[in-house]
Structure 1
Amino acid sequence: MNRFFLTIVTILSFIINSNAQTIEWEGRKFEIFDVNASIVELEGEKVLKVERDLKSLPFDLQNLSKTVDEPTYVKVKNLDIQNGVFEVKMLSRIQTPSPFKGSQGFIGVAFRVNGDNSSFESIYLRPNVGRSDNQFARNHTVQYYAYPDYKFDRLRAESKGEFETYADIGLDEWITFRVELKEKVAKLYLNDQEQSSFIVNEMKGKSQSGSIALWVDIGTEGYFKDFKILKSE
């Protein structure tokens, strides 16, 4: 009887936890993976706040390549896109206190996210270095990576800067982030500029299509609003 009771409790706990791992925002349902997500008021607007959950996915400074550039995001449920255009406004702050002194306000978007989160591509920002006095640091403001095989450290070591670039952005300001996907090419447009700020000419991801997710990493207090899918196929 006790064993049966424990089994029922376990099943009910699983159901409750599964239900708790979604959030509805701007008319869409998002699944939550290794982040804490909530609807908050910022500057008089209701926005989505996302922070990495260090309890569910610990951070190891001595093993960066294994514990950063992970599926730490909220993912649009029941969405499958190969090519298209999507846009979101994002604002980044560094947590106080920060669990990582090197945090740069990592915030961005993952796309072509497959069903079990084992493969996706991403473009993210490091707003804290966007206006650094050090040009080398500035050159790392925008980052592309493909999970799981091509994280930032491997791309930086092998590509000589092809998958990173500079952008004039900063912390604690709304940044309009628009991505255009077409086969192997991804173009990033920041703050409604006519010309793209960043181009990935040969993406390295395994997934041909998938969902879109709003992504943050270590030490980031991330805010999102006005998410739109402008074109999809």
Structure 2
Amino acid sequence: MVIQKKVGFISVLFIISMHSWCQQQINLVDKFQNQKIKAVNRSITLYGDQRDAIELNAENSSGIGIIEDLEFEKGIIEIELLGENNPGKSFIGIAFNIQNNDTYEAVYFRPFNFVAEEQIRKEHMVQYIYHPEFTWRKLRSERTGIFEKGIRIPPDPEDWFKVSIHIKENNIEVYVNDLSEPSLIVDRLSSTKSKKIGVWSGYGSSGRFKNLIIK
């Protein structure tokens, strides 16, 4: 009995150790302060009274904050995002497989659609893109309803919400807050060529980001 208990205890420690090893928490504030986030078409500042988040400003282009000294190919990206209820002016998310400043995959959200009443806008809450070839406009016109979806229980567009993006070899699943079912499942439009990831905001949009975890 004593041996069985010890073996069980060792097994538990091993599982905990493996879990910790497979999970990495990224402090975006520290990265920013140590000049380890490369701004592309954006300026980056600290955000909030607690200064526990970073913010990308709004510009007339898509923008990225590429996180240096961090490699990610496949797995799970978790992060908290804050947009705003400003129609056509709030697009926030994560870019990955960043091959250069213009070529990358991204999953992003339109918080202003979280409170939409029109059915068509309800179906445009979360989006997958592969720039520059597969923009949201091209995907919407040529493959309608496949790469953007609604969220069953939408977050408050003026509050922080958590997303979990499961990136696999050929497909992606996107989970929002505590929902057990994915809000979006898509086939990837690119194979992985880069291990770079970054925070992302769209045309005319600022965005706030904190609590990044990769698994």
TM-superposition CA deviations, 1:18-60 (whole Å, max 9, x none): xxxxxx8344321111111101224x452111123x3xxxx3x
Contact 2:173 2:184 in 1 (8 A): yes
Asked if 1:158 is matched to 2:142, the reply is: yes
Off by >4 Å, runs of 4+ in structure 1: none
* CA drift at 1:83: 0.7
C-alpha distance in structure 2 between counterparts of 1:208 and 1:186, whole Å: 16
RMSD between aligned alpha carbons?
2.0
Q: In 1, Cα distance between the equivalents of 2:202 and 2:136?
A: 13
1:51 alignment partner in structure 2: 57
- Of 190, 205, 208, 2:176 maps to 190
**Quick one: distance in 2 between partners of 1:206 and 1:183?**
7
Higher mean Cα deviation, 205-214 or 121-130? Answer: 205-214
Tell me if 1:226 matches 2:188.
no
8 Å contact kept, 1:126–1:140: yes
TM-score, normalised relative to structure 1: 0.72
State the partner residue of 1:92.
83
Runs of 5+ consecutive residues of structure 2 not aligned to the other structure: 1-26
- Give 1:36's aligned amino acid: S
Identity of aligned residues (%): 25
Number of paired residues?
183
* CA shift in 2, pair 1:148/1:219, >3 Å: closer
Assess, with a 3 A threshold, how the Cα gap between structure 1 residues 118 and 73 changes in structure 2: closer, same or farther: closer
Q: Structure 1: 5+ residue runs without aligned partners? A: 1-23, 60-66, 96-101
Q: Is the contact made by 2:39 and 2:64 (CA closer than 8 Å) also made in structure 1? A: yes
Question: Counterparts of 2:102 and 2:206 in 1: how far apart (Å)?
Answer: 24
Tell me the amino acid that sits aligned with residue 37 of structure 2.
Answer: F
Structure 1 counterpart SS, 2:139: helix
Which is richer in strand? 1
Q: 1: distance between equivalents of 2:104 and 2:190?
A: 6
Q: State the 1:217 CA deviation.
A: 1.7
